């Protein structure tokens, strides 16, 4: 009997970019957060981070299985969080401070609100 090297994948085959967040749960450990396929788009992940849905995010990975690529997008996400907080003139949520500092290197680009 001939065996195939192909194995089924649990990764969705849709042609979309999926973003997953690695989170630090302190004494119980670190893990990739479970996510509904419909809530893994960039905007939903950023809104979730700003809303406090993550305990202490470590990194964000974007991937597209149809195009066969993956990338650590943590720096881009950190800059976007900083930009949105600056525009709203609010402090970065406490749970995100370490994430933003780690991935921006403490560099801050101020965003001016257009009137």
Tokens of 28: 């119980």
- Across the range 22-35, mean pLDDT stands at 93
Residue with tokens 């930009």: 83
- pLDDT over 70 for what percent of the chain? 79
Mean predicted confidence (pLDDT) in 10-36: 85
Token pair, residue 99, equals 């994430």
**Which tens digits make up the pLDDT trace of 57-110?**
999 999 998 888 999 999 999 999 999 999 999 999 999 999 999 999 876 555
Locate the domains of the chain by residue range.
18-104
Q: Which two tokens stand for residue 79?
A: 């800059």
Residue 105 has a pLDDT of 86
Structure tokens at 58: 């470590």
């Amino acid at each position: 009997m001939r065996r195939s090297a192909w194995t089924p994948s649990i990764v969705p085959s849709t042609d979309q970019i999926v973003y997953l967040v690695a989170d630090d749960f302190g004494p119980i450990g670190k893990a990739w957060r479970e996510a509904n396929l419909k809530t893994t788009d960039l905007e939903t992940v950023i809104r979730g981070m700003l809303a406090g849905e993550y305990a202490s995010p470590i990194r964000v990975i974007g991937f597209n299985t149809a195009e066969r690529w993956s990338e650590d997008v943590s720096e881009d996400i950190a800059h976007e969080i900083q930009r949105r907080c600056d525009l709203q003139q609010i402090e970065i949520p406490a749970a995100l401070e370490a994430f933003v500092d780690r991935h921006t290197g403490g560099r801050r680009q101020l965003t001016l609100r257009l009137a």
